[in-house]
Amino acid sequence: MLNARKKIIVIALGGNALIQMGEAGSIAEQFANTRKSIEGIVHCIKSGYDVVITHGNGPQVGDLLLMVELSQGKAQELPLGVCVADTEGAIGYMIQQTLVNRLQKERIRKCVVTILTQVIVDKDDPAFKNPTKPIGSFYNEIEARKLMDEKGWAMVEDSRRGYRRVVASPKPIEIVENESVKRLMEAGEVVIAAGGGGIPVIVEKDGSLEGVDVVIDKDYASCVLALDVKADYLMMLTGVDKAYIDYAKPNQTPLGAITVKEAERYLAEGHFPEGSMGPKIQAAVNFIKGGGKCAYITGIDKVEETLAGKSGTKIVP
């Protein structure tokens, strides 16, 4: 059993944890941003929480896919699933090293472990027939049609900036390595898992796992992982300090504490788009309905204030 004396929190770092708006995304910038982003995590550890960390990987996967495209004919092409695995390891390394260094300064003796995490999706998920998640570079119409013919890619025009490849984003069902995460937590370690939503896999008829070239939403995967480890809290860190209804409109309203029923009503009314706040709110609802105590949506620099009830959006039963 997991340590019953401590409360468990799963903290999901958003994309701006590593790359800020307007930055080139160099490794030096990503390490600098990571050092800032772990302050809230360190606060949770010092406060006695058992911590599991998840993170996004959108910009990093985009860069890796661009490298793959530029190296065509010179190196073997990497499928999307492998690119997810590569970035999960690389980002885990950055968070892991940064957090270890900080904990040493705080004289906290804890190991930090990154687990390359496979996440099971249903091969019959309707998302496979309706790819909607844009990834990779922009192309003009002629290039896009050529890629659709030669590689069978699905492509759509993206905000008049050109055409982009779109892939399926099926819902996560199960974390393959969830028992390993639990055992490390029992040993008192900090675990980094389900990075970028995890490496997507399906289960074949014989029970074997097979990778698929799709992407899994990081917040949905974080919810599944949080329920697997019986976390008390799920905290999703993003670029805003709270969720809002009528966001970016003159009458926008910040949300403090809301119930699951209210969250579902706001979702149904279309306040939270699928491409931004929608998955976070739905993940919070799923977590509470699955047995979690409460979920938070807040800014990366607002963790301490949010746990103290002074910031963030809190979703409760």
pLDDT single digits (tens) 224-275: 999 999 999 999 999 889 999 988 888 889 999 999 999 999 999 989 988 7
What percentage of the chain reaches a pLDDT higher than 70?
Answer: 98
CB 214 within 8 A of CB 121: yes
The set of residues, in sequence order, having a beta carbon less than 8 Å from that of 314 and lying 6+ positions away, is 256, 257, 258, 294, 295, 296, 306
Structural domains in the chain?
8-120+175-316 (3.40.1160.10)
Residues tagged active-site: 15-16, 133, 218, 280
pLDDT confidence of residue 180: 96
Q: What is the mean pLDDT of residues 112-120?
A: 97
Least trusted range by pLDDT, from 55-59, 125-129, 131-135: 131-135
Count of Cβ atoms closer than 10 Å to residue 310 Cβ: 10
Q: What is the mean pLDDT of residues 127-139?
A: 88
CB 299 within 8 A of CB 232: no
CB 314 within 8 A of CB 258: yes
Residue 9 CA to residue 53 CA, distance in Å, equals 9
Give start and end residues of each alpha helix (H) in the chain.
27-37, 39-46, 58-70, 80-105, 141-151, 178-186, 218-228, 260-268, 278-289, 303-307
112 forms beta bridges with: 190
Band (17; pLDDT cuts 50, 70, 90): confident
For the stretch 174-189, pLDDT in tens is 999 999 999 999 999 9
| Per-residue DSSP letter, 77 | P
Residue 285 CA to residue 317 CA, distance in Å, equals 9
